[in-house]
């Protein structure tokens, strides 16, 4: 058992963790571990939006950005996911991760800035770019198994052993190193600026992003049936609530996405990705909103029935970013796209 | 909306509450309010234990203690509850509350010390006395409605307005004034001493007691059916778990009791009463144990279906006491009785 916060990020506390020193979690969980030289991470979401009938038009930009990821200074890892949003548009997002800001900035100035396009872009397509560049003190991960990294964890040095601070409400906060000294309360509110057809969201301090994933690749038929019939519909109902009514509880936007391979075919992995006004508001929804209480109850029932035999894999990554660690721009997207709802 | 901790108990904080200053609970709750002159409360549980067939033998002691409560320096309020324990014994507990230690001590030396009896007592009966005398900084209450006090709240000056610190995990702790400066971690472990057939439990610091009640008196037939068929069985399963396997998660003893009138007839009120190694362990069970997650889920579903029309009343009182604010003694009780399990 090891503490969630690695040695090199431990500071003199002014705030207490939620559990006493003798706390022991009832089941194992693991975290991504970066080497001490890693100071900042980059999580970049490049989205394209289109009517399903215009799918062919998106192929060029999707191939181009995939190619750019293999160029010099490209990301250490990227993946891609798709979903149909509340306006009926298809959205495909290429998600790329760096652990070195300078490499990212070089790559971005060469390839990334062009993603959102200009007014010569194909009018059938909308484009958006959503980027966080948190210092490592401002994020955490959690994995149900240590042997298959996802998302930002793929570029980590490796996985931790079993960590202590999980399986209680507040563990998410306690795993973020900055929680040792900072409540991470939001200051200000996001606003939108337009410049030549490009909408930029000017963010506020301490916005929160969660990517929370499920991987049922390894489940046998009976477990798969249980997941898809008993858990997934409850998860989807919660995701739909956040998408449609999330603003009522501090969630600016939620995308419940299916991971796809390079050919665009769905694989047996999904994740919810949501933008929150603050970590506290994400905590409140998770802990007390009927839609998440139902998700948590269904997951608990599932996992306690299967025990360690469960082959379902769960993970998440949670970031709380300062205003200057954020970047959002949107072109030709409908007004309910991502952080545009926050304006 | 008012803060849970009243003005006269606010101190300079060294520990933070779990929610930010702009937190607003999603539904109303209320707390008992004592006048500033009240420094200490007394919660005294006087139990008698017997085989169901020996019920007649218990009538004398039950009548005697009821009479003693009306004597000078008697409690400001008392009630009585019954249950059949895991060994098949009937237990009837008379629960009395004082808000003035000196009155209690005078009453106790005259009437209370005799309760546990001596070796001349009726061999068909077991007796136990469990008392907490917390300073007001060490306890909190919560009520779903402000117009019917129960338990210790009956001797309070009145009820608060709507309080802020509830409807999130950690609210219980945040409502206890001592949480402003103290983690209330347990030190030591209880042990048992015998003296002439009387077993005394020598407690540890920061033991935790919760009395958590339900009152379905005012429900109409359909709500009553929902409560008794959909919620109560789930509650009972959690109560049975704590009774039978509670030691595995820090619960020394749990009694799921039915309130009875002076003639011993059950009324439409029940409560769980449990002794915990620490507040933290009560928090952990409440928040993550499958049995309480199920209770919470059933209650959430029930209350969100009924909304403000719900006539079910819920309340609790939670105390964290120092070793010298506790008193436990048992005579002729079976070894699974109350705090005897902690030895």
Q: Mind listing the pLDDT tens digit for each residue in A241-278?
A: 999 999 999 999 999 999 999 889 999 999 999 999 99
> For position B246, what pLDDT does the model report?
97
Which residues of B are designated catalytic?
A: 316
- Between B56-60, B113-117, B277-281, B318-322, the lowest mean confidence (pLDDT) is in B113-117
> For position B45, what pLDDT does the model report?
98
- Burial of A326 from C-beta contacts in 10 A (0-12 / 13-18 / 19+): buried
**CA pseudo-torsion sign A49, A50, A51, A53:** negative
> For position A105, what pLDDT does the model report?
98
A227 CA: distance to closest CA in chain B (Å) = 18
B-chain CB neighbours of A18 within 8 Å are 18, 170
A293 vs B154, higher pLDDT: B154
Q: Mind listing the domains of chain A with CATH numbers?
A: 7-38+136-181+204-321 (3.30.70.100)
Residues A300, B284: C-beta atoms closer than 8 Å: no
* Cα–Cα distance list, A53 to A56, A57, A86, A218 (Å): 8, 9, 16, 33
> For position B226, what pLDDT does the model report?
96
Which tokens hold the place of A102?
A: 């300078």
**Which one of B167, B278, B287 has the shortest CB-CB distance to A169?**
B287
B117 CA: distance to closest CA in chain A (Å) = 40
B-chain CB neighbours of A290 within 8 Å are 300-301, 304
Q: What is the pLDDT of residues B175-206, one digit of tens each?
A: 999 999 999 999 999 999 999 899 999 999 99
Q: Which of A8, A16, A316, A334 is catalytic?
A: A316
B-chain CB neighbours of A20 within 8 Å are 183, 185, 278, 280
Helix segments in A176-289, DSSP class H: 221-226, 232-245, 279-288
B151 CA: distance to closest CA in chain A (Å) = 27
Q: How far is CA B340 from the centre of its chain?
A: 17
Q: How far is CA A224 from the centre of its chain?
A: 24
The residue among B235, B77, B69, B73 whose CA lies nearest residue B149 is B77
B-chain CB neighbours of A303 within 8 Å are none
ipTM summary value: 0.92
Statement: residue A14 has pLDDT above 80: yes
Query: What is the DSSP secondary structure assignment for residue B70, as one 8-state letter?
Result: T
Tell whether A18 is within 8 A of chain B (Cβ): yes
CB B216 within 8 A of CB B224: yes
Query: What is the DSSP secondary structure assignment for residue A269, as one 8-state letter?
Result: E
> For position A56, what pLDDT does the model report?
96
> For position B196, what pLDDT does the model report?
87
Entry pTM: 0.95
Give the percent of chain B with pLDDT over 70. Answer: 100
Half-sphere exposure of A258 (CA within 13 A, CB side): 15
The residue among A144, A309, A294 whose CA lies nearest residue A222 is A309
> For position A120, what pLDDT does the model report?
82
> For position A301, what pLDDT does the model report?
87
Average pLDDT over every residue of A222-238: 97
Residues A168, B287: C-beta atoms closer than 8 Å: yes
Exposed e or buried b per residue across A174-207, where buried means at least 16 C-beta atoms within 10 angstroms of its C-beta: bbbbbbbeebbebeeebeeeeeeebbbbebbbbb
Q: How far is CA A39 from the centre of its chain?
A: 19
Average pLDDT over every residue of A159-186: 98
Q: What is the pLDDT of residues A111-138, one digit of tens each?
A: 999 998 887 889 999 999 999 999 999 9
Helix H or strand E encompassing B88: none
Q: What is the pLDDT of residues B66-117, one digit of tens each?
A: 999 999 999 999 999 999 999 999 999 999 999 999 999 999 999 999 998 8
Q: What is the pLDDT of residues A288-313, one digit of tens each?
A: 998 999 999 899 889 888 988 999 99
Helix, strand, coil content of chain A in percent (nearest 5): 35, 30, 35
> For position A75, what pLDDT does the model report?
98
pLDDT band at B64 (very low <50, low <70, confident <90, very high): very high
CB A288 within 8 A of CB A278: no
Interface test with B, best of A290, A301, A303 (most B CBs within 10 A): A290
Residues A18, B16: C-beta atoms closer than 8 Å: no
Residues A294, B296: C-beta atoms closer than 8 Å: no
Which tokens hold the place of A157?
A: 């040095």
The residue among A169, A160, A120 whose CA lies nearest residue A285 is A169
Three-state DSSP class for A80? Answer: strand
> For position B321, what pLDDT does the model report?
98
* Calpha distance A186→A178 (Å, rounded): 14
**Helices A290-306 and A232-245, axial angle in degrees (round to 10):** 160
Could you count the other beta carbons within 10 Å of the beta carbon of residue B247? 13
CB B318 within 8 A of CB B213: no
Statement: residue B119 has pLDDT above 80: no
Which are the contacts of A176, defined by CB distance < 8 A and separation ≥ 6?
A137, A138, A139, A140, A184, A279, A318, A320
Tell whether B170 is within 8 A of chain A (Cβ): yes
**Which one of A26, A169, A183 has the shortest CB-CB distance to B16?**
A183
A-chain CB neighbours of B300 within 8 Å are 290, 293
Average pLDDT over every residue of A46-66: 96
Catalytic residue check, A204: no
Average pLDDT over every residue of B208-237: 97
CB A90 within 8 A of CB A51: yes
CB A277 within 8 A of CB A341: no
CB B247 within 8 A of CB B340: no
Helix segments in chain A, DSSP class H: 55-69, 101-107, 171-175, 221-226, 232-245, 279-288, 290-306
> For position A170, what pLDDT does the model report?
98
Which tokens hold the place of B7?
A: 């003005």
**Which one of B18, B280, B297 has the shortest CB-CB distance to A20?**
B280
pLDDT band at A238 (very low <50, low <70, confident <90, very high): very high
Three-state DSSP class for A215? Answer: strand
């Amino acid at each position: 058992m090891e503490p969630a916060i690695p040695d090199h990020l431990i500071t003199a506390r002014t705030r207490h963790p939620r559990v006493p020193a003798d706390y022991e979690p009832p089941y194992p969980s693991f975290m991504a571990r970066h080497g001490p030289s890693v100071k900042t991470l980059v999580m970049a979401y490049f989205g394209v939006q289109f009517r399903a009938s215009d799918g062919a038009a998106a192929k060029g930009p999707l191939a181009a950005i995939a190619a750019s990821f293999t160029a010099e200074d490209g990301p250490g890892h990227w993946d891609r996911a798709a979903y149909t949003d509340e306006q009926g548009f298809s959205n495909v997002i290429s998600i790329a991760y760096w652990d070195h800001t300078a490499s990212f900035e070089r790559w971005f100035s060469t390839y990334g800035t062009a993603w959102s396009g200009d007014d010569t872009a194909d009018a059938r397509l909308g484009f958006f770019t959503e980027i966080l560049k948190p210092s490592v003190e401002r994020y955490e991960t959690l994995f149900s198994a240590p042997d298959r990294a996802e998302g930002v964890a793929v570029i980590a040095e490796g996985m931790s052993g079993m960590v202590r601070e999980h399986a209680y409400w507040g563990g998410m906060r306690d795993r973020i190193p900055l929680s040792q000294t900072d409540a991470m309360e939001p200051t200000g509110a996001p606003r939108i600026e337009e410049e030549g057809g490009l909408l930029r969201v000017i963010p506020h301090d301490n916005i929160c992003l969660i990517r929370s994933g499920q991987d049922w690749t390894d489940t046998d038929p009976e477990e798969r049936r249980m997941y898809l019939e008993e858990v997934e519909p409850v998860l989807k109902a919660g995701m739909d609530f956040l998408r449609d009514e999330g603003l009522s509880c501090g969630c600016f936007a939620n995308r419940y996405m299916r991971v796809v391979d390079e050919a665009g075919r769905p694989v047996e992995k999904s994740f919810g990705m949501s933008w929150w006004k603050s970590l506290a508001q994400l905590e409140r929804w998770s802990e007390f909103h009927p839609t998440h209480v139902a998700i948590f109850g269904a997951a608990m029932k599932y996992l306690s029935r299967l025990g360690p035999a469960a082959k379902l894999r769960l993970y998440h990554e949670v970031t709380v970013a300062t205003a200057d660690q954020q970047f959002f721009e949107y072109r030709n997207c409908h007004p309910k796209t991502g952080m545009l709802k926050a304006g």
